[in-house]
């Protein structure tokens, strides 16, 4: 891991070749979109119909999903990394299940759990008059369900790599476990925490299948950008391309911006490779 | 989306027609899944050297796929609008022919617990109503029906395809939806249907055509002839379709 910009790394030619292929693989579809985009009336497409409401909803919901992923995901990652208990491997697999589950199936599973006839949802409905399907809260639930594993995995890996003697030292110096967690553990894993949160946010922003299944599609309430793009493909493919490019541009700006802001320029080591 | 479609609509007709050859790839609207699967089997039984492969999806998606060079021999659409998109782009080899029609119906939970008897009942704001989005044919038709009936509704969701409306009702998350009559039939015991009177209902026409890039024009035409024949029409009727 070389630090500083002066040092030159010599890449073996085959590695460089494969890297370029990988880069093209990601760049070409984007270039394809740019190539087919109707530039002359792009602005018209952006302001047409429900596009702005969808963008607003996407940003709000994905930020909520990220916040919930951090609030609940960090403690869970800590539990998985630090506490030995029987069946930990199975629990860890369970926490990442929604990454491999086809999102549409995830949406149906959320119905079975939180729908008005679901395991828990029927009581939410009966006792508290709370219904999640077809609401904005339902969008946040669906996005959190698919996004949180990205945060858990990233943070857990960082916690495992962290030298526990630092935490032990904090405690032997009289700090409470909560103080140690806040002032020693969390700062030490900050890059991984930010990386995990950004990954979770990106996943939430692009979420489609679980959202359209569990929360449905209604402009202003549950229609996020990916849903708006998909529906625009039915009637107005050119608008769909413009909306998709806007979504990409925003994510790109955030990913690049965060990288400079949080990871600095010299710190390009190990787990924080992103964007 | 979900397995709400049975593979068969209950017709067990046997018969024989002219012989044709080779692989035929049919791109068909999702609402034709059950009927065309059965028709495909009957076609292959009548033509032992033929092999029919289906690609079922939303008509609009199929038009896009064909436009991007997907290997289709036959295109069967759930509406004239999407077929027009194909012909406007010059991607058809034969003139589209209407081979079936479909009407719309209200789909409700089994036993109709909300006691819905007509379109006017769907205006109730406490009812969880889901319909198709106006961008897809079933949503366009639903809007026409509400307009003819003079009813204003507040749907909770505008679904991207008709099967998504069906699954939300069969899962019990929605109280009612507007779908094709054939979808109510395919849902079986998991849902019930309420008829929409003919004066406000819509007749959805299903056109079929050979595509321009068809690799097997002879096989494609043979399949279309078969769809228009007595045996296939009987299968379509058993699925709830009406004659053109």
Q: What is the CA angle A164-A4-A271, rounded to 5?
A: 35
**What pLDDT sits at residue B19?**
54
**Protein fold of B104-195:** D-Maltodextrin-Binding Protein; domain 2 (3.40.190)
Q: Measure the CA–CA gap between B1 and A25, rounded to whole angstroms.
A: 30
Q: Measure the CA–CA gap between A261 and B4, rounded to whole angstroms.
A: 50
Q: Which of B113, B156, B164 to mutate to test the interface with A (most CBs of A within 10 A)?
A: B156
pLDDT over threshold 60, residue B143: yes
Instruction: Identify the closest residue of chain B to A208 by CA–CA distance.
Output: B160
**What pLDDT sits at residue B8?**
61
pLDDT over threshold 80, residue B119: yes
CB contact under 8 A, B157 and A222: yes
Question: Residue A96 in contact with residue A153, Cβ under 8 Å?
Answer: yes
**What pLDDT sits at residue B235?**
96
Min Cα–Cα distance to chain B from A30, Å: 17
CB contact under 8 A, A234 and B171: no
pTM of the model: 0.81
Q: What percent of chain A has pLDDT over 70?
A: 91
Q: Is some CB atom of chain B closer than 8 A to the CB atom of A212?
A: yes
**What pLDDT sits at residue A215?**
94
CB contact under 8 A, A218 and B160: no
**What pLDDT sits at residue A109?**
94
A216: left (phi over 0), alpha (psi -120 to 50) or beta: left
Min Cα–Cα distance to chain A from B135, Å: 6
Question: What would the mean pLDDT of A133-153 be, rounded to a whole number?
Answer: 96
Q: What percent of chain B has pLDDT over 70?
A: 91
pLDDT over threshold 50, residue A163: yes
**What pLDDT sits at residue B110?**
96
Question: In Å, how far are A103, A148, A214, B12 from A100, measured between CA atoms?
Answer: 8, 13, 17, 40
**What pLDDT sits at residue A164?**
85
| β-bridge mates for residue B97, sequence order | B208
Confidence of residue B113 (pLDDT cuts 50, 70, 90): very high
Q: Which of A65-79, A228-242, B136-150 has the lowest mean pLDDT?
A: A228-242
The CATH 3.40.190.10 portion of chain B extends over: 22-101+205-238
CB pairs under 8 A between A and B: 65
| A111, A218, A234 ranked by CB distance to B157: nearest | A218
Which single residue is written with the structure tokens 């709370």?
Answer: A130
User: Based on the number of CB atoms within 10 Å of its own CB, is A268 exposed (0-12), middle (13-18) or buried (19 or more)?
Assistant: middle
CB contact under 8 A, A233 and B133: no
Which single residue is written with the structure tokens 């939300």?
Answer: B168
CATH number among 3.40.190.10, 3.40.50.150, 3.40.50.300, 3.30.565.10, domain B22-101+205-238? 3.40.190.10
Confidence of residue B161 (pLDDT cuts 50, 70, 90): confident
**What pLDDT sits at residue B38?**
95
pLDDT over threshold 60, residue A266: no
Question: What would the mean pLDDT of A5-33 be, rounded to a whole number?
Answer: 86
Q: Which of A135-149, A170-184, B6-20, B228-242 has the lowest mean pLDDT?
A: B6-20
Q: Which of A265-269, B103-107, B222-226 has the lowest mean pLDDT?
A: A265-269
**What pLDDT sits at residue A45?**
86
Q: Which domains does chain A have, with CATH numbers?
A: 50-224 (1.10.3720.10)
Question: What would the mean pLDDT of A240-263 be, rounded to a whole number?
Answer: 83
> Which residues, 6+ apart, have CB-to-CB distance to B138 below 8 Å?
B78, B104, B131, B132, B161, B162, B165, B178, B179, B180
Confidence of residue B35 (pLDDT cuts 50, 70, 90): very high
pLDDT over threshold 60, residue B1: no
Per-residue DSSP letters for B132-199? Answer: E-TTSHHHHHHHHHHHHHT-----SEEESSHHHHHHHHHTTS-SEEEEEHHHHHHHGGG-EEEE--TT
pLDDT over threshold 90, residue B136: no
Question: In Å, how far are A110, A188, A213, B79 from A138, measured between CA atoms?
Answer: 9, 34, 10, 33
The CATH 3.40.190.120 portion of chain B extends over: 104-195
pLDDT over threshold 90, residue A196: yes
| β-bridge mates for residue A145, sequence order | none
pLDDT over threshold 80, residue A54: yes
**What pLDDT sits at residue A2?**
44
Average pLDDT across chain B, whole number: 90
Question: In Å, how far are A118, A120, B165, B173 from A131, measured between CA atoms?
Answer: 11, 11, 18, 10
| A212, A218, A219 ranked by CB distance to B156: nearest | A218
């Amino acid at each position: 891991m070389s630090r500083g910009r002066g040092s030159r790394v010599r890449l073996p030619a085959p590695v460089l070749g494969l890297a370029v292929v990988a880069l093209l693989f990601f760049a070409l579809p984007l270039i394809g979109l740019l190539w087919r985009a109707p530039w002359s009336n792009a602005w018209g497409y952006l302001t047409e119909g429900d596009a702005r409401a969808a963008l607003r909803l996407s940003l709000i919901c994905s930020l909520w999903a990220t916040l919930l992923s951090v609030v609940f995901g960090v403690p869970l990652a800590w539990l998985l990394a630090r506490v030995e208990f029987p069946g930990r491997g199975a629990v860890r697999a369970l926490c990442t299940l929604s990454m491999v589950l086809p999102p549409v199936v995830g949406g149906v599973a959320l119905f079975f759990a939180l729908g008005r006839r679901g395991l828990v949802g029927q009581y939410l409905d009966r006792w508290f008059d709370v219904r999640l399907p077809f609401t904005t809260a339902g969008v946040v639930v669906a996005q959190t369900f698919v996004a949180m594993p990205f945060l858990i995995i990233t943070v857990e890996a960082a916690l495992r790599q962290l030298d526990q003697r630092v935490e032990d030292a904090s405690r032997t110096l009289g700090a409470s476990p909560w103080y140690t967690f806040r002032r020693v553990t969390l700062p030490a894993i900050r890059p991984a925490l930010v990386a995990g949160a950004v990954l979770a946010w990106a996943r939430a922003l692009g979420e489609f299948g679980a959202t359209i299944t569990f929360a449905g599609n209604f402009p202003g309430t549950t229609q996020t950008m990916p849903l708006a793009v998909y529906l625009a493909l039915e009637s107005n493919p050119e608008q769909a391309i413009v909306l998709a490019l806007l979504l990409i541009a925003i994510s790109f700006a955030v990913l690049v911006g965060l990288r400079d802001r949080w990871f600095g320029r010299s710190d390009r080591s190990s787990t924080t490779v992103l964007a | 989306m979900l397995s709400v479609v049975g593979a068969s609509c209950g017709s067990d007709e046997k018969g024989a027609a002219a012989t044709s050859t080779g692989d035929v790839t049919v791109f068909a609207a999702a609402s034709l899944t059950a009927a065309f699967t059965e028709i495909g089997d009957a076609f292959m039984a009548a033509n032992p050297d033929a092999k029919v492969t289906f690609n079922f999806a939303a008509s609009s998606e199929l038009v896009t796929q064909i436009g991007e060079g997907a290997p289709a021999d036959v295109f069967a659409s759930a509406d004239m609008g999407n077929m027009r998109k194909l012909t406007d782009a010059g991607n058809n080899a034969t003139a589209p022919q209407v081979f079936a029609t479909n009407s719309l119906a209200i789909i409700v939970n089994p036993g109709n617990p909300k006691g819905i008897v007509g379109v006017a009942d769907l205006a109730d704001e406490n009812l969880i109503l889901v319909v198709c989005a106006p961008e897809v044919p079933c949503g366009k038709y639903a809007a026409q029906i509400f307009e003819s009936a003079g009813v204003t509704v507040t749907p909770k969701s505008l679904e991207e395809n008709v099967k998504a409306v069906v699954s939300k009702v069969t899962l019990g998350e929605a109280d009612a939806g507007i779908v094709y009559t054939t979808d109510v039939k395919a849902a079986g015991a998991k849902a019930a249907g309420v008829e929409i009177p003919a004066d406000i209902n819509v007749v959805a026409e299903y056109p079929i055509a050979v595509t321009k890039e068809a690799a097997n024009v002879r096989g494609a035409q043979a399949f279309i002839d078969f769809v228009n024949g007595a045996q296939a029409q009987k299968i379509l009727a058993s699925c709830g379709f009406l004659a053109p």
